Amino acid sequence: MSRSIAPDDLKVLLHHPESLTLLDVRRRADFDADTVMLPGARWCDPEHISAWSQGLLKEKEIVLYCVHGRAVSNAVVDDLQFQGFRARLIEGGIAAWKEAGGETVPKSQGYLG
Protein backbone atom coordinates (compact mmCIF):
# COMPACT_ATOMS: atom_id res chain seq x y z
CA MET A 1 0.00 0.00 0.00
CA SER A 2 1.24 3.44 -0.86
CA ARG A 3 2.03 5.82 2.00
CA SER A 4 -0.17 8.52 0.45
CA ILE A 5 -3.25 8.97 -1.68
CA ALA A 6 -3.97 11.71 -4.20
CA PRO A 7 -7.11 13.80 -3.64
CA ASP A 8 -8.69 12.54 -6.87
CA ASP A 9 -8.08 8.90 -5.84
CA LEU A 10 -9.65 9.56 -2.45
CA LYS A 11 -12.76 10.95 -4.15
CA VAL A 12 -13.26 7.48 -5.68
CA LEU A 13 -12.67 5.71 -2.34
CA LEU A 14 -15.25 7.91 -0.65
CA HIS A 15 -17.96 6.32 -2.79
CA HIS A 16 -17.59 3.40 -0.33
CA PRO A 17 -17.00 5.19 2.99
CA GLU A 18 -17.76 2.05 5.01
CA SER A 19 -14.41 0.59 3.92
CA LEU A 20 -12.27 3.30 5.51
CA THR A 21 -11.76 5.50 8.52
CA LEU A 22 -11.13 9.15 7.71
CA LEU A 23 -9.20 11.16 10.29
CA ASP A 24 -8.49 14.87 10.54
CA VAL A 25 -5.20 15.13 12.46
CA ARG A 26 -4.60 18.86 12.17
CA ARG A 27 -3.10 20.42 15.25
CA ARG A 28 -5.76 21.98 17.49
CA ALA A 29 -4.89 25.57 16.44
CA ASP A 30 -5.08 24.69 12.73
CA PHE A 31 -8.31 22.77 13.22
CA ASP A 32 -9.85 25.63 15.21
CA ALA A 33 -8.79 28.18 12.56
CA ASP A 34 -10.77 26.44 9.78
CA THR A 35 -14.54 26.13 9.45
CA VAL A 36 -14.66 22.88 7.46
CA MET A 37 -13.47 19.29 7.35
CA LEU A 38 -13.90 16.34 5.00
CA PRO A 39 -17.29 14.62 5.11
CA GLY A 40 -17.26 11.66 7.48
CA ALA A 41 -13.95 12.68 9.06
CA ARG A 42 -13.28 12.60 12.77
CA TRP A 43 -10.87 15.05 14.35
CA CYS A 44 -8.20 13.39 16.47
CA ASP A 45 -5.59 15.43 18.30
CA PRO A 46 -2.19 14.31 16.97
CA GLU A 47 -0.70 15.06 20.39
CA HIS A 48 -2.76 12.25 21.94
CA ILE A 49 -2.44 9.48 19.35
CA SER A 50 -1.79 6.78 21.95
CA ALA A 51 -5.19 7.48 23.52
CA TRP A 52 -7.41 7.48 20.43
CA SER A 53 -5.55 4.99 18.23
CA GLN A 54 -6.68 2.16 20.54
CA GLY A 55 -10.24 2.62 19.27
CA LEU A 56 -9.39 2.23 15.58
CA LEU A 57 -10.28 -0.91 13.64
CA LYS A 58 -7.37 -2.72 12.01
CA GLU A 59 -9.60 -4.20 9.30
CA LYS A 60 -10.34 -0.75 7.88
CA GLU A 61 -7.99 1.39 5.85
CA ILE A 62 -7.19 4.67 7.56
CA VAL A 63 -6.84 7.84 5.51
CA LEU A 64 -5.77 10.95 7.36
CA TYR A 65 -4.92 14.55 6.68
CA CYS A 66 -3.42 17.63 8.25
CA VAL A 67 -3.10 21.08 6.67
CA HIS A 68 -0.46 20.37 3.99
CA GLY A 69 0.28 16.65 4.31
CA ARG A 70 3.78 17.04 5.69
CA ALA A 71 5.10 16.77 9.26
CA VAL A 72 1.94 16.04 11.23
CA SER A 73 0.42 13.56 8.78
CA ASN A 74 3.72 11.75 8.27
CA ALA A 75 4.29 11.38 12.01
CA VAL A 76 0.78 9.97 12.54
CA VAL A 77 1.11 7.59 9.57
CA ASP A 78 4.44 6.35 10.97
CA ASP A 79 2.90 5.74 14.40
CA LEU A 80 -0.21 3.99 13.06
CA GLN A 81 1.75 1.81 10.63
CA PHE A 82 4.08 0.83 13.47
CA GLN A 83 0.98 -0.29 15.40
CA GLY A 84 -0.08 -2.45 12.44
CA PHE A 85 -2.71 -0.21 10.86
CA ARG A 86 -3.10 0.31 7.10
CA ALA A 87 -2.71 4.08 7.20
CA ARG A 88 -1.92 6.68 4.57
CA LEU A 89 -2.15 10.42 4.19
CA ILE A 90 -3.79 12.70 1.66
CA GLU A 91 -1.08 14.19 -0.56
CA GLY A 92 -1.01 17.92 0.12
CA GLY A 93 -3.42 17.70 3.06
CA ILE A 94 -6.75 19.47 3.27
CA ALA A 95 -5.28 22.37 1.28
CA ALA A 96 -4.77 20.11 -1.77
CA TRP A 97 -8.16 18.48 -1.19
CA LYS A 98 -9.86 21.88 -1.38
CA GLU A 99 -7.82 22.87 -4.47
CA ALA A 100 -8.91 19.63 -6.17
CA GLY A 101 -12.55 20.55 -5.58
CA GLY A 102 -13.01 17.95 -2.87
CA GLU A 103 -16.19 18.16 -0.82
CA THR A 104 -16.05 19.68 2.65
CA VAL A 105 -18.67 20.06 5.35
CA PRO A 106 -19.00 22.47 8.28
CA LYS A 107 -17.09 21.18 11.30
CA SER A 108 -20.36 20.85 13.17
CA GLN A 109 -21.13 17.87 10.89
CA GLY A 110 -17.84 16.13 11.68
CA TYR A 111 -16.88 14.18 14.75
CA LEU A 112 -14.62 15.36 17.52
CA GLY A 113 -12.68 12.55 19.10
What pLDDT shows up at residue 68?
96
- For residues 51 and 24, the answer to whether their CB atoms sit within 8 Å is no
Judged on CB neighbours under 10 Å (0-12, 13-18, 19+), 65 is buried
Residue boundaries of the structural domains of the chain? 4-112
Judged on CB neighbours under 10 Å (0-12, 13-18, 19+), 51 is exposed
Fold of domain 4-112: Oxidized Rhodanese; domain 1 (3.40.250)
Statement: residue 78 has pLDDT above 70: yes
Per-residue pLDDT tens digits for 2-49: 899 999 999 999 988 888 999 999 999 999 999 999 999 999 999 999
Alpha-carbon distance of 44 to 71, in angstroms, equals 16
